[in-house]
Amino acid sequence: MDFSLLPAALWLTAQITILSALIGMAAGVLVVLARRSRVAPLRWLAIAWTDVVRGVPPLVWLMLVFLGVGVFTPLGAAVIVFGLVASAYCAEIYRSGLEGVAKGQYEALDALGIPTRTGRLRVVVPQAAVISAPAVVSYVIGMVKDTSLASVIGVAELTFVANRAANRTGDGITPFVTVGVLYLLLSLVLALVGRAAAARAESGWAA
Protein backbone atom coordinates (compact mmCIF):
# COMPACT_ATOMS: atom_id res chain seq x y z
CA MET A 1 0.00 0.00 0.00
CA ASP A 2 1.01 3.61 -0.46
CA PHE A 3 2.13 4.67 3.00
CA SER A 4 2.58 8.29 1.95
CA LEU A 5 -1.21 8.72 2.13
CA LEU A 6 -1.28 7.84 5.80
CA PRO A 7 -0.17 11.12 7.42
CA ALA A 8 -2.98 13.07 5.74
CA ALA A 9 -5.49 10.37 6.63
CA LEU A 10 -4.32 10.26 10.23
CA TRP A 11 -4.59 14.02 10.45
CA LEU A 12 -8.13 13.85 9.10
CA THR A 13 -9.06 11.23 11.72
CA ALA A 14 -7.56 13.42 14.43
CA GLN A 15 -9.36 16.49 13.07
CA ILE A 16 -12.77 14.81 13.08
CA THR A 17 -12.18 13.53 16.60
CA ILE A 18 -10.96 16.83 18.02
CA LEU A 19 -13.49 19.08 16.28
CA SER A 20 -16.46 16.93 17.13
CA ALA A 21 -15.21 16.42 20.69
CA LEU A 22 -15.03 20.19 21.14
CA ILE A 23 -18.49 20.66 19.64
CA GLY A 24 -19.86 17.85 21.80
CA MET A 25 -18.35 19.10 25.05
CA ALA A 26 -19.67 22.62 24.46
CA ALA A 27 -23.10 21.63 23.15
CA GLY A 28 -23.37 19.11 25.98
CA VAL A 29 -23.32 22.04 28.40
CA LEU A 30 -26.36 23.55 26.66
CA VAL A 31 -28.15 20.20 26.70
CA VAL A 32 -27.52 19.64 30.40
CA LEU A 33 -28.63 23.20 31.17
CA ALA A 34 -31.89 22.50 29.35
CA ARG A 35 -32.14 19.16 31.11
CA ARG A 36 -31.95 20.86 34.50
CA SER A 37 -34.01 23.88 33.51
CA ARG A 38 -37.06 24.95 35.47
CA VAL A 39 -38.99 25.12 32.19
CA ALA A 40 -40.59 21.71 31.68
CA PRO A 41 -40.73 21.78 27.83
CA LEU A 42 -36.99 22.53 27.75
CA ARG A 43 -36.39 19.51 29.96
CA TRP A 44 -38.51 17.30 27.68
CA LEU A 45 -36.64 18.58 24.67
CA ALA A 46 -33.32 17.73 26.30
CA ILE A 47 -34.49 14.23 27.22
CA ALA A 48 -35.81 13.66 23.71
CA TRP A 49 -32.54 14.92 22.26
CA THR A 50 -30.33 12.62 24.31
CA ASP A 51 -32.58 9.61 23.75
CA VAL A 52 -33.04 10.06 20.01
CA VAL A 53 -29.47 11.07 19.27
CA ARG A 54 -28.12 8.08 21.16
CA GLY A 55 -30.87 5.73 19.99
CA VAL A 56 -30.05 6.04 16.29
CA PRO A 57 -26.78 4.40 15.20
CA PRO A 58 -24.08 6.94 14.25
CA LEU A 59 -23.79 5.39 10.80
CA VAL A 60 -27.49 6.05 10.19
CA TRP A 61 -26.98 9.66 11.30
CA LEU A 62 -24.05 9.96 8.91
CA MET A 63 -26.10 8.77 5.97
CA LEU A 64 -29.09 10.79 7.02
CA VAL A 65 -27.09 14.00 7.23
CA PHE A 66 -24.82 13.39 4.25
CA LEU A 67 -27.14 11.70 1.76
CA GLY A 68 -30.48 12.77 3.23
CA VAL A 69 -29.90 16.43 3.95
CA GLY A 70 -27.44 16.51 1.12
CA VAL A 71 -25.87 19.95 1.58
CA PHE A 72 -22.73 19.04 3.51
CA THR A 73 -19.32 17.84 2.42
CA PRO A 74 -18.48 14.39 3.76
CA LEU A 75 -16.10 15.93 6.30
CA GLY A 76 -18.67 18.54 7.36
CA ALA A 77 -21.35 15.90 7.77
CA ALA A 78 -19.00 13.73 9.84
CA VAL A 79 -18.00 16.54 12.19
CA ILE A 80 -21.62 17.61 12.64
CA VAL A 81 -22.85 14.08 13.30
CA PHE A 82 -20.10 13.09 15.71
CA GLY A 83 -20.37 16.47 17.43
CA LEU A 84 -24.11 16.10 17.96
CA VAL A 85 -23.80 12.51 19.14
CA ALA A 86 -21.06 13.61 21.55
CA SER A 87 -23.29 16.41 22.85
CA ALA A 88 -25.84 13.85 24.00
CA TYR A 89 -23.26 11.61 25.66
CA CYS A 90 -21.43 14.54 27.27
CA ALA A 91 -24.70 15.92 28.62
CA GLU A 92 -25.35 12.61 30.36
CA ILE A 93 -21.83 12.59 31.76
CA TYR A 94 -22.19 16.16 33.02
CA ARG A 95 -25.54 15.30 34.54
CA SER A 96 -24.17 12.48 36.62
CA GLY A 97 -21.23 14.71 37.53
CA LEU A 98 -23.64 17.30 38.87
CA GLU A 99 -25.51 14.61 40.75
CA GLY A 100 -22.22 13.47 42.20
CA VAL A 101 -21.65 16.75 44.05
CA ALA A 102 -22.39 16.08 47.72
CA LYS A 103 -25.66 17.40 49.09
CA GLY A 104 -23.77 19.02 51.96
CA GLN A 105 -22.07 21.38 49.52
CA TYR A 106 -25.44 22.80 48.48
CA GLU A 107 -26.51 23.03 52.12
CA ALA A 108 -23.39 24.94 53.07
CA LEU A 109 -23.99 27.39 50.20
CA ASP A 110 -27.56 27.88 51.40
CA ALA A 111 -26.60 28.21 55.04
CA LEU A 112 -24.01 30.87 54.21
CA GLY A 113 -26.53 32.84 52.17
CA ILE A 114 -24.49 32.65 48.99
CA PRO A 115 -26.49 33.59 45.88
CA THR A 116 -27.50 30.52 43.87
CA ARG A 117 -25.71 31.53 40.69
CA THR A 118 -22.43 32.29 42.46
CA GLY A 119 -22.57 29.01 44.34
CA ARG A 120 -23.26 26.98 41.20
CA LEU A 121 -20.47 28.68 39.33
CA ARG A 122 -17.80 28.60 41.98
CA VAL A 123 -18.55 25.45 43.95
CA VAL A 124 -20.88 23.07 42.12
CA VAL A 125 -19.59 23.35 38.56
CA PRO A 126 -15.87 23.02 39.40
CA GLN A 127 -16.56 19.91 41.45
CA ALA A 128 -18.87 18.40 38.83
CA ALA A 129 -16.22 19.10 36.18
CA VAL A 130 -13.61 17.12 38.03
CA ILE A 131 -16.06 14.28 38.65
CA SER A 132 -16.99 14.23 34.94
CA ALA A 133 -13.50 14.58 33.51
CA PRO A 134 -12.46 10.90 33.44
CA ALA A 135 -15.72 9.88 31.75
CA VAL A 136 -15.36 12.65 29.17
CA VAL A 137 -11.79 11.58 28.46
CA SER A 138 -12.75 7.95 27.92
CA TYR A 139 -15.68 9.00 25.76
CA VAL A 140 -13.40 11.08 23.55
CA ILE A 141 -10.97 8.17 23.29
CA GLY A 142 -13.88 6.01 22.16
CA MET A 143 -14.72 8.63 19.52
CA VAL A 144 -11.42 7.93 17.76
CA LYS A 145 -12.79 4.53 16.78
CA ASP A 146 -16.19 5.88 15.84
CA THR A 147 -14.68 8.23 13.30
CA SER A 148 -13.82 5.19 11.19
CA LEU A 149 -17.50 5.17 10.19
CA ALA A 150 -16.91 8.39 8.26
CA SER A 151 -15.15 6.27 5.64
CA VAL A 152 -18.55 4.95 4.60
CA ILE A 153 -19.64 8.41 3.39
CA GLY A 154 -16.29 8.99 1.70
CA VAL A 155 -14.18 10.97 4.15
CA ALA A 156 -10.59 10.05 3.23
CA GLU A 157 -9.58 9.20 6.77
CA LEU A 158 -7.63 6.16 7.91
CA THR A 159 -10.19 3.44 7.30
CA PHE A 160 -11.13 4.88 3.91
CA VAL A 161 -7.51 4.97 2.76
CA ALA A 162 -6.94 1.43 3.99
CA ASN A 163 -10.07 0.19 2.27
CA ARG A 164 -9.06 1.76 -1.04
CA ALA A 165 -5.57 0.34 -0.77
CA ALA A 166 -6.97 -3.12 -0.07
CA ASN A 167 -9.23 -2.91 -3.10
CA ARG A 168 -6.43 -1.74 -5.38
CA THR A 169 -3.67 -4.08 -4.27
CA GLY A 170 -5.72 -7.10 -3.32
CA ASP A 171 -3.77 -7.23 -0.03
CA GLY A 172 -6.41 -7.01 2.65
CA ILE A 173 -4.09 -7.45 5.60
CA THR A 174 -1.32 -4.85 5.51
CA PRO A 175 -3.57 -1.78 5.14
CA PHE A 176 -6.00 -2.72 7.91
CA VAL A 177 -3.30 -3.88 10.32
CA THR A 178 -1.44 -0.63 9.69
CA VAL A 179 -4.40 1.64 10.36
CA GLY A 180 -5.42 -0.56 13.29
CA VAL A 181 -2.07 0.18 14.89
CA LEU A 182 -2.52 3.88 14.14
CA TYR A 183 -5.95 3.91 15.81
CA LEU A 184 -4.47 2.27 18.89
CA LEU A 185 -1.62 4.78 18.97
CA LEU A 186 -4.02 7.70 18.62
CA SER A 187 -6.14 6.37 21.50
CA LEU A 188 -3.04 5.87 23.57
CA VAL A 189 -1.86 9.44 22.98
CA LEU A 190 -5.29 10.77 23.93
CA ALA A 191 -5.34 8.58 27.03
CA LEU A 192 -1.98 9.92 28.16
CA VAL A 193 -2.98 13.53 27.51
CA GLY A 194 -6.26 12.91 29.31
CA ARG A 195 -4.59 11.32 32.29
CA ALA A 196 -2.13 14.20 32.61
CA ALA A 197 -4.96 16.73 32.38
CA ALA A 198 -7.05 14.84 34.94
CA ALA A 199 -4.10 14.62 37.33
CA ARG A 200 -3.64 18.38 37.06
CA ALA A 201 -7.30 19.13 37.58
CA GLU A 202 -7.55 16.82 40.56
CA SER A 203 -4.30 17.78 42.24
CA GLY A 204 -5.10 18.85 45.74
CA TRP A 205 -8.65 18.09 46.48
CA ALA A 206 -10.20 15.16 44.70
CA ALA A 207 -11.54 12.72 47.22
Quick one: which H or E segment has residue 45? helix 40-55
| Helix, strand, coil % in the chain, rounded to nearest 5 | 85, 0, 15
Choose, by CB under 8 A, the member of 67, 192, 196, 197 that binds another protein: 67
Tell me how far CA of residue 49 lies from CA of 21, 26, 53, in angstroms.
17, 15, 6
| CA–CA separation, 69 and 116 (whole Å) | 42
CB 82 within 8 A of CB 20: yes
Task: Pick between residue 37 and residue 68 the one whose CB is nearest to another protein.
Answer: 68
The count of residues interacting with another protein (CB under 8 A) is 61
C-alpha 131: how far from chain center: 16
The interface with another protein within residues 4-23 (CB under 8 A) comprises none
Task: Pick between residue 7 and residue 70 the one whose CB is nearest to another protein.
Answer: 70
Tell me how far CA of residue 157 lies from CA of 51, 64, 99, 203, in angstroms.
29, 20, 38, 37
Choose, by CB under 8 A, the member of 11, 100, 107, 192 that binds another protein: 107
With a CB cutoff of 8 Å and minimum separation 6, the contacts of 132 are: 93, 94, 96, 97
Residue 30 makes contact with another protein by CB under 8 A: no
The interface with another protein within residues 156-195 (CB under 8 A) comprises 159, 162-163, 166-167, 170-173, 176-177, 179-180, 183-184, 187
* Shortest spacing between CB 23 and another protein, in angstroms: 20
One character per residue 122-151, x = contact with another protein (rule: CB under 8 A): xx--xx--x--------------xx-xx-x
Choose, by CB under 8 A, the member of 30, 108, 196, 197 that binds another protein: 108
* Shortest spacing between CB 151 and another protein, in angstroms: 7
Residue 113 makes contact with another protein by CB under 8 A: yes
Task: Pick between residue 42 and residue 166 the one whose CB is nearest to another protein.
Answer: 166
DSSP 64-109: IIIIII--S-HHHHHHHHHHHHHHHHHHHHHHHHHHTS-HHHHHHH
| CA–CA separation, 192 and 152 (whole Å) | 29
Residues lying near another protein in the complex (CB under 8 A) are found at 51-52, 54-61, 63-64, 67-70, 102, 104-105, 107-108, 110-116, 118-119, 122-123, 126-127, 130, 145-146, 148-149, 151-152, 159, 162-163, 166-167, 170-173, 176-177, 179-180, 183-184, 187, 204-207
